[in-house]
Amino acid sequence: MSCASCAAKIEKGVSAMSGVEEAAVNFAAERIDIVYDPDEARLTDFVKTIIE
């Protein structure tokens, strides 16, 4: 993440994913916390969404 706008875009993209209940990006800590159903979403799906 290089800026707050990027962090917001990542949070929005991950939040919209199937199986995600909650996603919160902390730009200062360069961290994202995700609450999700592992039967509906996989870690590789998150990586793809974040990289895009």
**Residue 14's domain spans which residues?**
4-51
pTM: 0.87
Model confidence over 1-52: pLDDT tens digits? 678 899 999 999 999 999 999 999 999 999 999 999 999 999 999 999 999 8
Structure tokens at 14: 């991950």
Model confidence over 18-30: pLDDT tens digits? 999 999 999 999 9
pLDDT at position 52 is 84
pLDDT at position 49 is 93
Q: Is residue 28 packed enough to be buried (19+ CB in 10 Å), middle (13-18) or exposed (0-12)?
A: exposed
For the packed helices 43-51 and 4-15, what is the interaxial angle rounded to 10 degrees? 140
Say which CATH number the domain at 24 has.
3.30.70.100
Total of domains in the chain? 1
